[in-house]
Amino acid sequence: MKCIKKRSLPFENSVDLIEERIEEIELDGLSESDKTKIERLKSQKIKELEKIYNKLSRWETVQVARHQDRPKTPDIVQQLIPGYVVLSGDRLFRDDPAIYAAIGIFHGQNLMIIGHDRGNGTKEKIRNNFGMANPEGYHKAIRLMRLAEKFNAPVLTLIDTQGAYPGIQAEEMGQSAAIATNLRDMFSIKVPIICVVIGEGGSGGALGIGVGNYVAMLKNSIYSVISPEGCASILWRDATKASKAAEKLQLTATDLIKRSLIDEIIPEPFGGAQRNQKETIQNIDEFLSKTLKKYAKMSAKDITADRYSKFRKLATQDI
C-alpha cells in the first residue's frame, strides 16, 4: 500500500485519500457495515479517477506517460506472444538492452516485437540506459526487422523512450547515421510494421523505430519532437516552464489524432495503464488483431508502397 502511494501522481491526491480510508477500515476488521462502506468508497474512487483522467492537462499526461508502473516492452511480449524467443545483438559491436526484441506466435501468426525497454528497478534501469538506445540498439532493431521478413512475421514496435542516448560513445559510433539509416530502411521492410507508443515517444530516438504502416498511441502516452523540459530550456531558457511547453507542443494522443499525425488511440483502463497492466495489454492485443487483418492479404510490394504513401502525405495537409 505504502509503495503504491509513493507511485501515485501529484494530481491524484483525492484518490490517495480515499485509498487511505479504505485501508484504515480494512485494518480495523470487517463488519457488514464496513463492507458496504468500503464498496461505497471504492465506487467513489473510480468516479474520482474518471473525473481526474477525463480532464488531464497535457503536463499531467506527460507524468502519466512516464509512470514506472506502466507496461513495458517485456511485459507486453510476455502477454502477447507466450512461448516467445528473445533475440539480441547488432552483429557489429554489442547488444543494446535499451532495445528489447522477441519473436513468437500471436493468435496463430508469427509476430516480431521490437521495443524500447526502460527497465524495472534501479539496476536494470541503469543497465538499459532508461530506455535510451545507442546506435547499436538501432542497428539491432533494423537487423531484426529484416529477420522478421524471413519468418513472414509482421513487426510490432513499441515506443517508450525519452530519446536516443546523448553520450560520447553514441556520437563516436554514429547515432545520427544509425537513426537516419533506420528511417530510410524501414520503408523497404516487406512485412507490415505496426507502431504503438506505450509511454513516452521522445523525438528521433522514438521515430528511429517508428516508421510504420500504422501508428497508434496508448491513450495517455505522448509523442513529441522534443521533451517539454528540453523545449522549455531552449525557448523559455527555463526548464521549469516544462508544463507550458507541454501545452504548446500538443503532444498527447488526442492532440495528434486530431491532426492526423497518428492513426489510432488505444484505450487505457480507468486511472491509466499503470493501474492495470493486464487490461492495457489486452487492449493492445485487440487493437493488433484487428489491425493486422487489414494487411493479411497485401503483397510485399503493396505493404511497402502503403508505408511510403502514408509518410509521403503525412503532415502536409496545411501546405
Contact 127, 97 (CB under 8 A): yes
Based on the shown chain and the rule CB under 8 A, indicate whether residue 127 belongs to the binding site for other proteins: no
Contacts with other proteins by CB under 8 A: the residue count is 56
Based on the shown chain and the rule CB under 8 A, indicate whether residue 59 belongs to the binding site for other proteins: no
E strands, the chain, are 85-87, 99-106, 109-116, 155-161, 193-202, 214-218, 222-224, 264-266
Based on the shown chain and the rule CB under 8 A, indicate whether residue 126 belongs to the binding site for other proteins: no
Based on the shown chain and the rule CB under 8 A, indicate whether residue 300 belongs to the binding site for other proteins: no
Which region, judged by CB under 8 A, interacts with other proteins, from 38-46, 64-72, 78-86, 182-190? 182-190
SS3 of 196, please? Answer: strand
**Chain centroid to CA 196: how far?**
6
Of 219 and 275, nearer to other proteins (C-beta) is 219
Based on the shown chain and the rule CB under 8 A, indicate whether residue 32 belongs to the binding site for other proteins: no
The CB-of-190 to other proteins minimum distance in angstroms stands at 13
Based on the shown chain and the rule CB under 8 A, indicate whether residue 231 belongs to the binding site for other proteins: yes
- Kindly identify the residues of this chain, within the stretch 235-274, that bind other proteins according to CB under 8 A: 235-236, 245, 248-251, 256, 259, 261
Burial grade of 71 (CB within 10 A; 0-12, 13-18, 19 or more): buried
SS3 of 212, please? Answer: coil
Contacts of 184 (CB under 8 A, 6+ apart): none
Helix (H) / strand (E) element for 311: namely helix 300-313
SS3 of 252, please? Answer: strand
Which region, judged by CB under 8 A, interacts with other proteins, from 9-17, 110-118, 168-176, 290-298? 168-176
Binding residues vs other proteins (CB under 8 A): 163-168, 170-177, 179-181, 183-185, 187-188, 203-204, 207-208, 210-211, 223-227, 229-231, 233-236, 245, 248-251, 256, 259, 261, 308, 311-312, 314-316, 318-319
